[in-house]
Amino acid sequence: MDTGRVIDVRRLRYAYRKRPALFGVTLTVTEQSIHGFVGPNGAGKTTTLKILATLLKPQGGVVRVFGRDVVREYKTVRRRIGFMPDYVSMYRQMTVFEYLDFFAAAYGMGTGRRNKIIEEVLALTDMEGRKDELIKSLSRGMAQRLSLARVLVHDPALLLLDEPASGLDPRGRIELMEILKELRRMGKTIFISSHILTELTMLCDYITIIDRGRTKYSGTMEALLAHQGDVVEYLLTLKEQHEPTEKRLRELDGVSDVTRLEDSPSYQVTVNRESVTTNEMLKCVLEAGGQIVALKENLRHLNEAFMDLTEPGVPL
Amino acid sequence: MSMPVMALFNRSLNLDSRKFTTYLARIGLVAVLLFFIMAIHGSPYRVSAPGLRFFTGVVGTSLFFISLVGISLFSSVITEEKEERTLGLLKMTGLSPVSILLGKSVSRIFGAVLLLLAAFPFTLLAVTLGGVSLNQIVAAYCTVLSYALFLGGLGLFCSICLERSQNAAGLAFLMLLLFFFLDRAGLPLLQLSARAAWISTTGLFYTLTSPVLEWVHAASPITRIIDILQTGFSGSPIGFQVVSNLGLAGGFFALSWLTFERFTREVKTPAPSRGLVFTRTSILRSFGVGRAWPNALMWKEFYFGAGGRIGVLARCLLLAGLITLTAVVVAKQGGNEDVSQAIGSMLMIMAPATGYFELVAHAGNSFSKELKWRTLSEIMVLPTSTRGMVFQKLKGCLAGMTPYLFFFAIGVALAPEAFLEAMEVLFRSGAIFLIIAEAVFFLYLAAWLSLVFKRVGLLVAFGMMYLGNGLGVALFSLVVFALSGGRYYEGGETTLVIFGTVLATSLVYPLHRALMGRIERKAGE
């Protein structure tokens, strides 16, 4: 096993009867990272997650979790993962405590250890006051929190979360993201599928984009969002609008476009990385008398990368 | 009917016609009828009035089939909309309650009638075979059809009152049991009580109860069918049973209509019932759920499947009630029978039989509930094998059934001679092996079919066992009869027992594999 490699998927294939779902998905998840998993509906995200969770058997390729084969060593894999499906599935006739106690016992924990860990996961998910409530009386957001608490109850090193924020209100989503950040700080590796790209951008270190059962991108979030090739966009903000600076920039070798953003002292400057450096650009602005407030590289939004990498339409 | 009602009717009819179970029921019924024809054809010289024999089988099977299919078919009419959370949408379309009830239930009744009519041409053969008149056939069909309508009304009412199809089917089944056995158990008990001078025949209780029980007796399709199958029946095809069953059907429909708004006003999020399992904050927490056992799945199944401590207590009370009833009946009969012997014999039969059927019901419900509430994937990611998970669940159910074992042991202690005698007979004939093999097979079959058929798996399992055993025995007898050149073959029964045991045993392993595979597939869906 490679050091730090928690999930290793190579050329994964799967078909539901005659309908192929995965055509060779390849991805790697490293230790103690948050790895986003995105793709359009029907791309194969849930199928991949279910295979990683040992609920489905891969029909081709290699799938290893912590270096263990998910088919042959499924019991070992199950002990080290926590899987949260994309729907709320719970024993709704149980109370919160009974539910967590049941799962903790199912993972072989003694009563004393169970008490401690239940208290901890309830505190982490902010549900301490609800342990004697029936699950069926919980709201959707609370049920999602409990589902996350259940996933954590046996202290797994890897969390497989399928759309954990679906159906949550904005506050619920933000709180969930905070919990996930806290879990990363605790040393967990999180593999999360979501449609909410803005939140993934802020949360994830790595990302995999799949479409129609194929991996389109798998790597760091930074590399995905950086502009490809030599052309870079900068956002230059001055103290106030300054015509001479705009003019000097246009004349600078390697600058292909300067656009003033409406009613603001900000400019979008498109440059060729090979022809002009950031320092040269800054020197040019200062020489023209412009007062610089900020200069930053304009990264692409995940939405754009997603749209570029995936095909339109719904797979048949 | 206005057009929206027709649209609803068409939709329901289309959906029903796409269901595999619809065709399975028709094929099953026609297969049984064909078998009856073959059986009669194969033994023309051994049976007097072959037409009547054939017809008796056909009517009995039709009644059984319509009861089996009807309970599941009719009691999900409205509950399926509640479960899918589409009833509110239906109500928003402006359809009146009566339109919804008609649109939904008429298509089901249509399906049930079609099921019965599919068998009608075959039954006319009974006239050709001899021993039965056309009037008897028409009268029998009027009986079964009116009973189907009554069942439709009863199922509809249950599906209005309750939130879940399974509960509605359970309620309909209980009410039907009451309908069929109230007169058969009630009338003798009433007469016994009167003879024992516990109640007066001129008293208010007797005066009120007796006509009700007699009315139920006359309204029962079983009573009516027995009358019709008498040789020389020349009564009207439309008897009291037909009128009363149609009246009951209309009554239940009206009741459903009147209570529709009341029971469907509030849209409840469907959730599994906790039953009488008390929480740890309840006053009755000593009867409630304790901490999870190290064998957690067993704990879950014991408390949330088999009813926990309250369930154990209820079973003890049921068996204690049966003991009391047996003691009272034996004492009042005043014969030479020993009370302890009678109680012992009763317990030795009732305790294992009730326990086993409850276990089968659990096997059928356990996985279908996990599927229904989408919790199967939760327990499938636990670090245990599928087989381990199934056996843990089974152990939990068995833990709830311990009162049956305890009372069976009491039965053995009270009547040891009867026990030894029964064991000797069972071992000598080899029937014990057949019983065990069939019991294990049926358990697997119920569990597997509950994952194949939504809602009706358990009923299909019962139907398959009933038909499989009936057809198996008849087919085997025919083969033995043919091979022995039409003479009585002494070793026939033993051969049948060996054949049945080997067949059931050899089917257990493939069923085990099929069940495990099905669970894994369903968990991944």
Residue A78 has its nearest CB partner, among B279, B297, B383, at B383
Residues from B contacting A (CB-CB < 8 Å) are 269, 271-274, 277, 279-281, 289, 291-294, 296-297, 299-300, 304, 373-375, 377-385, 523-524
3-state SS record for B458-501:
HHHHHHHHHHHHHHHHHHHHHHHHHHCCCCCCCCHHHHHHHHHH
**A242/A290 Cα distance (integer angstroms):** 6
B269 contacts A136? CB cut-off 8 A: yes
**Separate counts of helices (H) and strands (E) for chain B:** 23, 0
CA distance B63 to B226: 12
Only one residue has tokens 């991944």, namely B524
The nearest alpha carbon in chain B to A54 belongs to B381
For residue B189, give every residue at least 6 positions away whose Cβ sits within 8 Å of its Cβ, in sequence order, or none: none
Domain range summary for chain A, segments of one domain joined by +: 5-225, 231-297
Task: Identify the CA nearest to A107 among candidates B297, B302, B280.
Answer: B297
C-alpha to C-alpha distance for A235 and A299, rounded to whole angstroms = 10
CB-CB under 8 Å, A75 with B296: no
Check if CATH label 3.30.70.100 holds for domain A231-297.
Answer: yes
State the Cα–Cα distance between residues A34 and A205, nearest whole angstrom: 6
Rounded Cα distance, A73 and A80, in Å: 11
Burial A175-193 (b: 16+ CB within 10 A, else e): bbbebbeebbeeebbbbbb
On chain B, the residues whose CB falls within 8 A of the CB of A114 are: 291-292
Give the best residue of B167, B273, B283, B291 to mutate against chain A (max A CB count within 10 A): B291
Question: Which residue in A50, A102, A134 is closest to B296 by CB distance?
Answer: A102
Q: How far is B516 from chain A (nearest CA, A)?
A: 13
Three-state DSSP state, B338: coil
Enumerate the domain spans of chain B.
276-414, 430-525
Q: Is the Cα dihedral A3, A4, A10, A15 positive or negative? A: positive
ipTM: 0.81
Angle formed by the axes of helices B97-118 and B240-264, nearest 10°: 140
In chain A, residues with a C-beta closer than 8 Å to the C-beta of B281 are: 132
Backbone torsions φ then ψ of B50, nearest 5 degrees:
-60, -35
Convert the pLDDT of each residue in A23-66 to its tens digit.
999 999 999 999 999 999 889 999 999 999 999 999 999 999 99
Q: Could you tell me which residues come within 8 angstroms of residue B137 by beta carbon, excluding any fewer than 6 positions away?
A: B55, B123, B124, B126, B127
**Which residues of chain B does A97 touch, with a Cβ-Cβ cutoff of 8 Å?**
280
Strand partners, A161: A84, A192
Cβ–Cβ gap B374/A89 under 8 Å:
yes
Inspect the interface and report whether the beta carbons of B292 and A87 lie closer than 8 Å: no
- CATH for A5-225 is 3.40.50.300
Rounded to 5 degrees, φ, ψ at A23 are: -110, 15
Cα distances from B297 to residues A105, A119, A178, B466, in angstroms, run: 9, 22, 33, 32
**Contact (CB, 8 A) for A251 and A203:** no
* C-beta of residue B368 within 8 angstroms of C-beta of residue B451: yes
What does each of the 525 residues of chain B score in pLDDT, given as a tens digit? 456 677 777 777 777 777 777 777 777 777 777 777 666 666 545 556 677 878 888 888 888 888 888 888 888 889 888 888 888 888 888 788 888 898 888 888 888 888 888 777 777 777 777 778 888 888 999 999 999 999 999 999 999 998 888 788 889 989 998 998 888 778 878 887 887 777 887 888 888 888 898 999 999 999 999 999 887 788 888 999 999 999 999 999 999 999 999 888 876 777 777 777 888 777 777 778 889 999 999 999 999 999 999 999 999 999 999 998 888 878 777 667 788 999 999 999 999 999 999 999 999 889 888 988 889 999 999 999 999 999 999 999 999 999 999 999 999 999 999 999 999 999 998 899 999 999 999 999 999 999 998 777 887 888 788 778 877 887 787 787 778 777 777 777 888 899 899 999 999 999 999 999 999 999 988
Check B279 against A132: CB less than 8 A apart. Answer: yes
A158-162 sheet: strands from edge to edge: A81-84, A158-162, A189-193, A34-38, A206-211, A214-220
SS3 A266: strand
